[in-house]
Amino acid sequence: MPIFTAPDGSPVEIESNAVVRIARTVFSDLDGSSCRIDWKRTDLVRESVPEVLEMIGYELPSLVRLTAESNAEIWINAQLAEGPFPPHPDKEQEGFRAHIVVSGEPQHVMENEERILELFTRAGGTA
């Protein structure tokens, strides 16, 4: 299991196959984190997204890159996400083309349902 560094410097061990989402943190200047890893819980780590992907990606070939709000790249475990679904009407007005469900919560994305289905299927997901 890969070991990362929490903002306070303590080690954070992650089960790669339980990871559902990887994304750049939004408030990294405040706490010293660079990346958010959602798995059995949410962990913020100092390592950058590319570093996290390098350490987790080889163990988790089902990771798929999607585009979230503000064109931010996120990586989703296609085997643990649900969907794709149409965007909620208010989100469609904001430019989102679809949403998936990650850990029970909607994640709106810019890709359309057809593209998500293609990516998830190619990555071994059951969308």
Cα–Cα distance for residue pair 19/14, rounded to 1 Å: 8
Does the pTM exceed 0.85?
yes
User: What is the pLDDT at residue 92?
Assistant: 87
In a domain, 72, yes or no: no
Instruction: Please count the structural domains in the chain.
Output: 2
Residue carrying structure tokens 């992650």? 14
Nearest of 26, 104, 42 to residue 34 by alpha carbon: 26
Same domain, yes or no: 10 and 41: yes
In a domain, 109, yes or no: yes
In a domain, 9, yes or no: yes
> What digits encode the pLDDT tens for the residues 15-63?
999 999 999 998 755 688 999 999 999 999 999 999 999 999 878 999 9
Task: Domain of residue 112: give its range.
Answer: 80-122
User: What is the pLDDT at residue 59?
Assistant: 86
Same domain, yes or no: 8 and 44: yes
In a domain, 67, yes or no: no
Same domain, yes or no: 12 and 47: yes
User: 39: number of CA atoms within 13 Å, CB side?
Assistant: 17
